[in-house]
Structure 1
Amino acid sequence: MTEANRSPSDNLQQLVAKFDREQAYRPLSGWLGRAVSLLAIGFTLYQLVTTILPPPPAQIHRALHLGFGLCLIFLLFSPTRRRTTAGVSVADALLALLGLAVGGYWFFAFDGLVQRAGNLTTLDAIVGAVAILLVLEGARRVVGWPIVIIATLFLLYALFGKEIPGFLGHRGVSLERLISHMYYTTEGILGVPLGVSAKFIFLFILFGVFLERTGVGAYFNDLALVLAGRRVGGPAKVAVFSSALQGTISGSSVANVVTSGSFTIPMMKRLGYRPSFAGATEAASSTGGQLMPPIMGAAAFLMAEAINVPYAEIALAATIPALLYFAGIWIMVHFEARKTGLRGLREDELPNRREVLKKLYLLLPIGVIIYFLMSGTSTERAALYGIASTIAVGALRKETRMGLRDIVLALADGAKAALSVIAATATAGIIVGVVTLTGLGLKFANGLVELSGGIPILTLFFTMIASLVLGMGVPTTANYIITSTMTAPAIIQLGYPTLTAHMFAFYFGILADITPPVALAAFAASAISGASFLRTGIDSVRLAIAAFLVPYVFVFSPQMLLINTTLPEALWVAVTAFVGMIGVGAGVIGFWLRPLRSVERLLAIGAGLALVVPGVASDAAGLVVLGGLWGLQLAQKRRQSPAETPSDR
């Protein structure tokens, strides 16, 4: 197909495949393509049946979930990034069969494995070793090298820990015990992360696929254009708004950047935004989608299982920080637009408002999900109701109605979309398994506390750096598992609530997507905008300044996470933090009601930080300084003629 006759959807698919490994499927066709689709549909049907009916024992259910996933990974993903052939090699076919075999082994040998209780036969050891290698290779193909390198280093640490000097050393683990722990207990590959994937995450990914099939993804963009497009700097605010909406169903920062950024970034550039700022706006907003309830890139379900807290409590706790994150970006792009005099979109550049508002019914399935999740219904049942409501709502209009073929294709796409999560959670299980086997998590936490001398702010800073490093190039689900396992215990040791510690580690792990040197979301955005990757990454961090501040706030003031607080207290913390973000945003951009001088910028940032940091004295000082600065600017602006302030228009 030539460049001239390639459709926009083809170009979008190429972009997604280029920057998001999880979408780089082989272009299978003919009988092979149909066979793989049937296998994917069978996998989805298995997941649905075991949700409606009682599932098999946890080890069997998780192993079958893994086996299906590995088989599809080796059939759908090439061993290299080059996608030049549409067929499957003999080697990949054999790997796919081995994936099914290691998953099915638990099904056929369950009684013997339970009776042997870790005393492995030769066959057990071979199957376990093959399972570990297949998981690592599957993750390399779907997720990429970073998580594979981390997991491999953890395995080597378990085997050769006695050779490591200092506090990280341990007496070592035999190869047989390591294999047994990794594949024949529920503390390794078949542990909680993969269990959550099998029980909850798969269903919510399927829900997201059904939403996309009814056109909700495109509708989010249209709705954002209608609500924010006419405002100052409209395209940038559209990117912020649409990414916040996409975050309710998306599990990937990079996929978010490519899908919504393919039209918001060119729109921003056309209206005068610098290419790096346009890319950074999309990258920061799309990354924030992983922090937005109710899904949070599927991390909400993992967090609920890991710390034994009801899902509804996790979603509520994450709401105020997520809103502050997006409010911070909105404020920054608003001041940037005012500073450079950028207009909003014209009426003829926007979709028809009446037609867009007529389709508000497309948001009902998300409301159904939230209602059932918050009402105490089991998470998996809520997902089923969401899927059913999506089909029902889509049937209301011809253009969104799903026929039998659409439903079948959605079933296949749901299984394919879940493969990255399966690979990531299984590999993360290896990391968690080594931590539980060697006590590395506690050793690492003790090291962070000792390095900081037990000073809370220093401990938090070192935890932030560790989470940013551990989160580089790692997808959302594995990101949370790794950072919470390795860094959250350090915060817990200081006496802070467990939920606070896990949320802190998760936030900074996710921010690795926009923090150089890796910054996958910023990399994808820079490729679309044509700007320097490093410049885009720096601008992304600048725009996401709220995300670097808010976690410190909710550690020192858990009221922001609605922990042991009243609604008025939580609202006060949120409102003062929001006002503080106005000051920080104005100072960083260098504009408020008019351009700010250097001293005024420093005062705005300082006053903003004082408001972000909880405390009566700091809030009072921040309000006084910001209020005085605002009054001074207002008085000066009134003395100027309109011709002297073109950027205020």
Structure 2
Amino acid sequence: MTNKTNVKDNNSPPDPDFIPEMGNVDSADVLEGKRVLPVNSFGYKLIGLIAFFWSFFQLYVVLLPVNDVFVRSIHLAFALVLTFFMYPMFRTKRTMSSIPLWNYALAIVAAVTSLYIFIFYDALNARSGAWLPIDVWAAIVGIILLLMASRRALGPALAIIAIIFLGYVKFGQLMPDMISHQGASINKMMGQMFLTTEGIFGVPLGVSASYVFLFVLFGALLERAGAGKYFIDLAYAALGRYDGGPAKASVAASGMMGIISGSSIANTVTTGTFTIPLMKRLGFPGHKAASVEVAASTNGQLMPPIMGAAAFIIAEFLGMDYAGVIMAAAIPAFVSYIALFYIVHLEAKKLGIKGEAKDRLPKVWSVFVSGLHFLLPVFYLMYTLVVLRMSPQRAAFNGIMVLMAIMIVQPFIKSLYAKQGLNPIHNVQTAISDIGAGMINGAKNMVPIAVATGVAGIVVGSVTITGIGLILADVIEVLSGGYIFAVLALTAVVSLVLGMGLPTTANYIVMASLTAPVILGLSGDLGYLVPAIAAHLFVFYFGILADDTPPVGMAAYAAAGIAKSDPIKTGLQGFAYDIRTAILPFMFFFNSKLLLIEGVDPSNPKDPSGWQWISNPLEIVLIFATAVLGMLAFSSATQRWIRVKTNWLEVVLLIIVTVFLMVPNLVQGWLHLPHEYVSYAIGISLYAVIYWWQIQRQNKQSLGNKLAA
């Protein structure tokens, strides 16, 4: 890529083509605005050293458990120090020869304030509520530095939201009557936010320190071992020959990358640099090639087991088994990806785009076999989570140990395969280097997540102090007029708007604290008994969709930079592809069977122990198959194509098919059908009729073309 000077202001999207001259850098790092230092500089080495010790600490506390508050305090201290070292104050000044001295001062003060609750833990417990002036000042300085770090690492949106909530906590008595409260003193506010586990050091940061770090580290090590390239090569070898093959490979590769990555930008840059040029070469317009990659990479955060780190927080918020979260999320995630495959197929058909020549593609089997060792730690991790029911923390740790063992053996196997001899010293050095680099990259990748969960704790603490959840319920109830569809639509819009400026994890925490309880409360009042996870996944899905929603969808900017296309046009097209993902939350909200939950305890739908999980394999297959058919029908309706262009009658009928197949319980009630299976039968029959019409019209068009020729 051509080097150029980046002269954009701090709030504009970074230029994907801006690649500094100082050493090798990751394109995702450039897009995320990280400081770029010479690889031999003191600052560069210091960042690597701190990042390595952060990863080492997180592994250490799994083997020798430590007080949760201590872990959270040290976790945030590491994150803040790395933030001030890695992220410049202004993104226009990212390339520099060293870290400015005043950043060292900020990092030291941030570390001290973060460790305050660790250092004075016993004393703070003894005087709980009767805080000393030094306690309050430590909290004030700590919160200010956390907000500064958030602005650097994540942009201004989350910091602004936290400041608004802090202002609301302090000056609630000055608000309009509908949203007013008695207000809180500085002492009470600082104690809640910083000196207890009800705010910054609460559940979100605890999940980040306990579970999320280990899974992100697992992904970074897997990527360093070569799994990212393996997934891309495998998808390309398997799907490249079919119509629109590179686009389908993009979808598959992004789905597999979603297993090891919680970032839509990282997904976009990793797979997009390979797939977007291929799609363009075969005939996809630039903005559509970029949009396919955006849709695929954004949806990567839906894929279990990591789900953009939100799966762990969902489990913690709901007090449920982590394996239950990924089981509930599985069918919607796979249905969404299958539908995206189909959309890509329809686009290829419309544009007349064929696949790559078979002789230009690597052999699928040889590619598959070459990376089987990458799948071993992934399957082992899933086995320990789902079958052995280990804690996520222990399962991730065991998976990391297996992966490290593979990384140690891998250089020796490669040497033997290349007939270069064992060369033990070189191979051991390679293994150690790769493991060390993976640990450093894992810690660097965790910085924005740790900072985001810390700041999101301010929102959670504000909700607890002010009771704004009940106030918001009244506001939404008034605006919605008591209609459940309006309640969901309002929540979806709020999630999208917030998500435009927030990372997915922070967006989920904010919406789960504010609106998920509102959805559950109002739906119960309106006679809809839904499991709590349906509401939580609802806001999670719409937060994810914001990554490709203009004007702030950063994944769209990343893909547009690779494709040399208009980012706004790319974002709009990507969102059009993701409409299928937008309707899924409405479907599983009204049909919890899509989450493999058959019923809930009417007295307490929030309690996972009262949920009736579907265990019949045949019923699970039926639910999955009909959901796939329903989503394919909806995709055809939005793309206006099956075998030929659909007319408006077919579009309407396809939407009806979607409803019959995806929410048969509602159809059964509306039409007084004897069983949900009747709804399935009607939907499948209607879909078959539409498909038959399409075949007839295609045959007529083919005959007409032959006669014309």
CA distance in 2, matches of 1:224, 1:201: 27
Structure 1 contact 162–171 (Cα < 8 Å) conserved? yes
1:550 aligns with 2:584: yes
Q: CA deviation at 1:154?
A: 0.8
2:561 is the alignment partner of 1:527: yes
TM-score by length of 2: 0.86
Aligned-pair Cα RMSD in Å:
2.4
Is the aligned partner of 1:586 residue 2:636? yes
Per the alignment, residue 486 of structure 1 pairs with 514
How far apart are the structure 1 equivalents of 2:615 and 2:395? 28
Q: Partner amino acid for 2:377?
A: P
Per-residue Cα deviation, 1:608-648 (whole angstroms, up to 9, x for no partner): 34433333465444333322111122234345548949xxx
Residue 449 (1) aligns with residue 477 (2): yes
Match of 2:13 in 1: none
Aligned partner of 2:390 in structure 1 is 377
* Equivalent residues of 1:468, 1:508 under 8 A apart: yes
The ranges of structure 1 where at least 4 consecutive aligned residues each deviate by more than 6 angstroms after the TM superposition are: 6-12
Which residue number in structure 2 is paired with residue 53 of structure 1?
64
Tell me: CA distance 1:445–1:625, structure 2 relative to 1, closer, same or farther (3 Å): same
Query: Which amino acid is 2:207 matched to?
Result: V
The answer to whether the aligner puts 1:247 opposite 2:297 as a matched pair is no
Question: Which of 517, 540, 560 lines up with 2:551 in the alignment?
Answer: 517
Residue identity in the other structure for 1:72: L
Q: Kindly provide the amino acid, as one letter, of the partner of residue 470 in structure 1.
A: L
Q: Confirm or deny that 1:40 pairs with 2:80.
A: no
Describe the superposition over 1:292-346 as per-residue Cα deviations: whole angstroms up to 9, x where unpaired. 1011011111111111010000000000000111111111111111111100112
Partner of 1:20: 32
Aligned to 1:62: 72
From the superposition, tell whether residues 150 and 203 of structure 1 become closer, same or farther in structure 2 (CA, over 3 Å).
same
**Aligned position for 1:105:** 116
Is it true that 1:135 corresponds to 2:146 in the alignment? yes
Q: Describe the SS at the equivalent of 2:354.
A: coil
Instruction: Give the equivalent residue in structure 1 for 2:83.
Output: 73
What letter is aligned with 1:562? L
Q: Is the 8 A contact 1:12 1:262 kept in 2?
A: no
Q: Letter of the aligned partner of 2:403 in structure 1?
A: T
Q: Please say if residues 629 and 661 of structure 2, whose CA atoms lie closer than 8 Å, have aligned partners that are also in contact.
A: yes
Does 2:503 correspond to 1:469? Answer: no
CA distance in 2, matches of 1:207, 1:507: 24
Question: What CA deviation, in whole Å up to 9, does each residue of 1:141-189 have, x standing for no partner?
Answer: 1111111111111111111111110321111111121111111111111
Equivalent position amino acid for 1:371 in 2: Y
State how far apart, in whole Å, the 1-side matches of 2:518 and 2:24 are. Answer: 42
Q: CA contact under 8 A between 2:23 and 2:38: conserved in structure 1?
A: no
Normalised by the size of structure 1, how large is the TM-score?
Answer: 0.94
Summarize the alignment of residues 234-273 of structure 1 with structure 2, pairs less than 5 Å apart.
Answer: 234-273=245-284
Structure 1 counterpart of 2:403: 390
How far apart are the structure 2 equivalents of 1:11 and 1:558? 51
Which of 308-317 and 622-631 deviates more?
622-631
Structure 1 CA distance, aligned partners of 2:248 and 2:579?
Answer: 17
Partner of 2:451: 423
- Give unmatched runs, 5+ long, in structure 1: none
Q: Given that residues 12 and 258 in structure 1 are in contact (C-alpha distance below 8 angstroms), is that contact kept between their aligned partners in structure 2?
A: no
Question: Is 1:171 aligned with 2:182?
Answer: yes
What secondary structure is seen at the aligned counterpart in 2 of 1:531? coil
Contact 1:362 / 1:394 at 8 angstroms: preserved in 2?
A: no
Q: Tell me: CA distance 1:27–1:416, structure 2 relative to 1, closer, same or farther (3 Å).
A: farther
* 3-state SS in 2 of match to 1:376: coil
Matching of residue 223 in structure 1 with residue 284 in structure 2? no
- The residue aligned with 1:410 is 438
Say if 2:41 and 2:98, in contact at 8 Å, map to a contact too: no
Q: Is the 8 A contact 2:331 2:595 kept in 1?
A: yes
1:504 is the counterpart of 2:565:
no
Using the TM superposition, give the Cα deviation of residue 106 of structure 1 relative to its aligned residue in structure 2, in angstroms.
2.4
Is 1:607 equivalent to 2:668 in the alignment? no
The change in CA–CA distance for 1:122 and 1:27 in structure 2 (over 3 A counts) is farther
Given the alignment of the two structures, is residue 574 of structure 1 paired with residue 616 of structure 2, yes or no?
Answer: no
Q: 2:407, 2:431 within 8 Å by CA — same for their partners in 1?
A: no
Alpha-carbon deviation of 1:24?
Answer: 4.9
Contact 1:328–1:544 (8 Å) recurs in 2: no
CA distance in 2, matches of 1:12, 1:235: 27
CA–CA distance in 2 between the matches of 1:643 and 1:414? 59
Q: Which residue, out of 619, 622, 628, partners 2:683?
A: 622
Aligned-partner SS, 2:171: helix
2:42 maps to: 31
User: Contact between 2:224 and 2:437, CA under 8 Å: does it hold in 1?
Assistant: no
Distance in 2 separating the partners of 1:309 and 1:252 = 25
Residue 573 of structure 1 deviates from its aligned partner by 3.2
Matched position secondary structure for 1:248: helix
Per the alignment, in what secondary structure is the counterpart of residue 223 of structure 2? helix
State the 1:490 CA deviation. 1.8
Instruction: Show the counterpart of 1:537.
Output: 571
Q: How does 1:62-211 map to 2 (within 5 A)?
A: 62-81=72-91, 82-211=93-222
Q: Does the alignment pair 1:633 with 2:694?
A: yes
The count of corresponding residues between Structure 1 and Structure 2 is 642
How far, CA to CA, are the matches of 1:641 and 1:586 in structure 2? 21
User: What CA distance in whole angstroms lies between the structure 2 residues aligned with 1:580 and 1:644?
Assistant: 32
The separation in 2 between residues aligned to 1:569 and 1:205, in whole angstroms, is: 34
Give the drift of 1:546.
1.8
The 2-side partners of 1:536 and 1:600 are apart by 28
Say if 1:608 and 1:626, in contact at 8 Å, map to a contact too: no
What is the distance in 2 between the residues matched to 1:27 and 1:643? 65
The 3 A distance-change label for structure 1 pair 10 and 33 is closer
| 1:596 equivalent in structure 2 | 646
Question: What CA distance in whole angstroms lies between the structure 2 residues aligned with 1:626 and 1:195?
Answer: 48
How many angstroms apart in 2 are the aligned matches of 1:285 and 1:183?
A: 38
Q: Distance in 2 between matches of 1:242 and 1:136?
A: 35
**Alpha-carbon deviation of 1:597?**
3.1
Cα offset, 1:395, TM superposition? 4.1
- 1: CA distance between counterparts of 2:50 and 2:306? 27
Q: Tell me, yes or no, if the aligned pair for 1:491 and 1:501 is still in contact at 8 Å.
A: yes
Q: 1:213·1:406 contact (CA, 8 Å) conserved in 2?
A: yes
Q: Check whether the contact 1:590–1:601 (CA below 8 A) recurs between aligned residues.
A: yes
Change in Cα spacing, 1:2 to 1:536, as seen in structure 2 (3 Å) is closer
The answer as to whether partners of 1:364 and 1:393 remain within 8 angstroms in 2 is no
After superposition, the Cα gap between the structure-2 partners of 1:24 and 1:303, relative to the gap in structure 1 and judged at 3 Å, is farther
1:21-63: CA deviation from partner (whole Å, max 9, x where unpaired): 4x555446333333332222222222111111021x2222211
Moved more, 126-135 or 310-319: 126-135
- The change in CA–CA distance for 1:411 and 1:14 in structure 2 (over 3 A counts) is closer
State the alpha-carbon separation in 1 of the partners of residues 183 and 63 from structure 2.
44
Q: Using the alignment, how far apart are the partners of 1:38 and 1:15 within structure 2?
A: 22
Question: Residue 380 of structure 2: SS of its match in structure 1?
Answer: helix
Deviates more, 1:71-80 or 1:635-644: 635-644
Structure 1 letter corresponding to 2:222: L
C-alpha contact 2:3 2:20 (8 A) present in aligned 1: no
Q: Does 1:301 align with 2:312?
A: yes
| Unmatched 5+ stretches in structure 2 | 5-17, 416-426, 525-529, 598-611, 668-675
| Cα pair 1:181 1:187 within 8 Å, conserved | yes
